Chains A and B, each alone.
Chain A
């Protein structure tokens, strides 16, 4: 019996590989939770950068359908000052389980944030005065030129690219 508990060198190597694989697969799933103040600060970082900020939720089918378009957008602007932020508005009480579960099932390459606010009427106007409050919704903002665009509702990849070109 005791024999099976003896440390074997190959096991250490195996464990190290396991750790490495877990760590690399977890890297894509990291997301940060923030308040509206912090999100505003984040969106105004780097005046050169065009921010494409999408508001979504894990359970929202049209939102989930358009997520790959944002990943594709980020890739097509590779090396250029454009930053996609995927801001989940999942209910704060369930966000951790919902986002961890979602991101372990789906490959999302863009940066994911969670808006930790429970009173939507307090953040909707701060995001965009023309936002009525439905998701998905997308804000494109460029502080350097003070140009911005806003779209409420699902977009195709072509629609998203066209909208971004009006700002970038």
Chain B
């Protein structure tokens, strides 16, 4: 019994020491995950309609606009209408929007599957809104915030590669004051057979709510 307490105490001390030593943080940061040109592994996640959606389902698409977003971050909410408009404009041009919510439901209950369904219904999302429950997809991409955009281009080999990472445009607060449309310019470059320039643009956002490990 004494021994048991002793080893528990050591274990507890170890946990405390480890958790106090977190400034390095286990969460991914810039430079981890996919980079420009990376081949994207197929993704299969549950959509708000209950069906599974995979990137490989998009057989006729030229690419995908993958957006890590959520219900709760004001930056994400500020971009909602613009994301809806992007899908309307580019879905028929071969670049449909796929939205992915990576937030841990325990840390952010308003990002639950049911809350996602409700939000999509209220706002009339015309695109899949997928639940990355295990956060594996966000980790693979190296997403750090919401919203965080990845423009994928399908190559002649049928593989999806990352062509652009980052910001939709240069003004999250006021769509009418936007001067540079980074994502749309990147799609324009791909359509013209060029590489997007810039290929990466940073944007401000909310930290993805990672699971407590």
Contact = CB atoms under 8 A, between A and B. Distances in A.
A86 interface: no
Contacts of B173: 91-94, 118
A132 B166 CA distance: 9
- Interface size class of chain B, counting residues whose CB lies under 8 Å from the partner chain: 20 to 34
B207 A153 contact: yes
A121 B20 contact: no
Contacts of A134: 144-145, 204-208
A93 B175 CA distance: 13
B199 to A, nearest CB: 13
Contacts of B177: 118
Interface stretch (A5-13, A30-38, A103-111, A123-131): A123-131
Interface string B72-100: 00100000000000000000000000000
B172 interface: yes
A92 B171 CA distance: 11
A91 B177 CA distance: 13
A127 B144 CA distance: 17
Q: Which residue, of A93, A122, A124, A153, has the highest number of chain B Cβ atoms within 10 A?
A: A153
Given A133-B144, A153-B25, A119 B207 contact: no
Interface stretch (B27-35, B129-137, B156-164, B186-194): B27-35
- Interface size class of chain A, counting residues whose CB lies under 8 Å from the partner chain: 35 or more
Nearest to B144: A132
A163 interface: yes
A57 B172 CA distance: 14
Interface stretch (A21-29, A71-79, A154-162): A154-162
B203 interface: yes
A143 interface: no
B22 interface: yes
A148 B30 CA distance: 17
12 contacts: A60-B206, A119-B170, A120-B172, A121-B201, A122-B170, A133-B145, A133-B202, A133-B205, A134-B206, A135-B204, A154-B207, A156-B22
Interface of B: 20-23, 25, 27, 29-31, 74, 144-145, 166-167, 170-174, 177, 182, 201-208
A-B CB proximity, top 8 nearest: A134-B145, A120-B204, A91-B173, A132-B30, A132-B144, A134-B207, A124-B202, A163-B23
